[in-house]
Structure 1
Amino acid sequence: MSEVWTHPFKMGALARGPVTLRLEPDAATLKALAPKLGVRAVKSLSADLRLRTWLDGVEIGGRFQAVVEQESGLSLEVFDQTVEGPIEVRLVPAGSPNAPDPEIEIELDPESPDPPEILEGDTIDLAAYVIEHLAVEIDPFPRLPGETFDYTPPQDDDSPFAVLKRLKDDHG
């Protein structure tokens, strides 16, 4: 997805201290993102990020907010859905002693932070992390607010076994 929207950030920029950024793609980029995210349209997207050094790498924190146009899986009506969430990423350079060891099995705890990702090179594509976090938060089975699925099974059971049972009961 990063070919649609990129925002490279050089790690060396953190030498002077933490950096705060606001990312907002232009209209053409929003249009190009929609099919990549599986929605009808991305009407708005913004992310407020703060970057700071972390161990021998970088920590990216912040929040994103977007408005996406989706189609209800129940009524097929089109509606706008606000999607928002936190962004929390830690990166360390390849070969770092703080990188997770691929030989050791990691026990995942949903309450603990994710292990750091490995950074190849000295440039981070911040837009890719915003898109990744947005994609995770988009509801894959959207419904209009308040819309519920009410299914009532048919009263007549026309399975072959039901027909045989009725025949047996009628001629029993």
Structure 2
Amino acid sequence: MTETPILSRLVKVDDIPGGQIDVTIEASEQERAALARDFGLVEIARLVGRYRVERRGRYVHVTGRVEATIEQTCVVTLEPFAAEIGEDVDLRYTEPHFIEDQAEEGEEHEVDLDAPDPIENGRVDLGALTAEILSLGLDPYPRKPGASFAFGEPAPEPSPFAKLASLKKTPEE
């Protein structure tokens, strides 16, 4: 049993009129809050995916852009700060059996990183795609603008003889 994604917007492939549609996915306040918890963010103020979905024979081609306004914690200062994310999308989908048919029998199956993603139950989930693209666009070590981590050499410790010399009292004249 597959767990339903936090953000899910299914597009039925067979219902794409004229072979192409434009789709806008906008996450609700509850979906943004749940995604922020999952991604370790302070807040997701806005999350929008704008896509052109085209049916091309056995394939579905999805192009577009995911944009978000987020608040995350700086790894240097530990202060929250706002950031904008914008990621382009260009993916292909096809039926899972078509992907499997590409591998020859008796051969060990290699992972093809350029292979199309599977169309599941005749649908493409653009909501899950939007959340996935957002997660891939997040900086794993976010820094607040202007924050810098200055690592310097530790100050040399005085030698034991210098410490002893400082304890030596000078005779008064």
Interval containing the TM-score (normalised by the shorter chain): 0.7 to 0.9
Identity %: 24
- Cα gap change, 1:55/1:125 in structure 2, threshold over 3 Å: closer, same or farther? same
**Could you report, residue by residue, the CA deviation over 1:84-111 in whole angstroms, capped at 9, with x for unpaired residues?**
1111211110221696538454676xxx
Runs of 4+ in 1 over 3 A off after TM superposition: 97-100, 102-108
Does the CA-based 8 Å contact 1:99-1:117 persist in structure 2? no
Does the CA-based 8 Å contact 1:20-1:51 persist in structure 2? yes
2:19 is matched with 17
Tell me how large the CA RMSD over aligned residues is: 2.6
Distance in 2, matches of 1:116 and 1:97, equals 8
1:118 is matched with 118
2:151 is matched with 151
Gaps of 5+ in 1: 109-113, 168-172
Q: How far does residue 73 in structure 1 lie from its aligned partner after superposition? A: 0.5
1:4 aligns with 2:6: yes
Distance in 2, matches of 1:149 and 1:6, equals 39
**Could you report, residue by residue, the CA deviation over 1:45-68 in whole angstroms, capped at 9, with x for unpaired residues?**
111101001340201110010011
Alignment length (residue pairs): 157
2:33 is matched with 31
- Cα gap change, 1:97/1:77 in structure 2, threshold over 3 Å: closer, same or farther? closer
Deviates more, 1:49-58 or 1:148-157: 148-157
The residue type paired with residue 71 of structure 1 is T
Q: 2:60 aligns with which of 54, 58, 61?
A: 58
Distance in 1, matches of 2:101 and 2:157, equals 60
Gaps of 5+ in 2: 162-173
Question: Could you tell me the TM-score, scaled by structure 2's length?
Answer: 0.79
Question: Could you tell me the TM-score, scaled by structure 1's length?
Answer: 0.80
Structure showing greater Rg: 2
1:49 is matched with 51
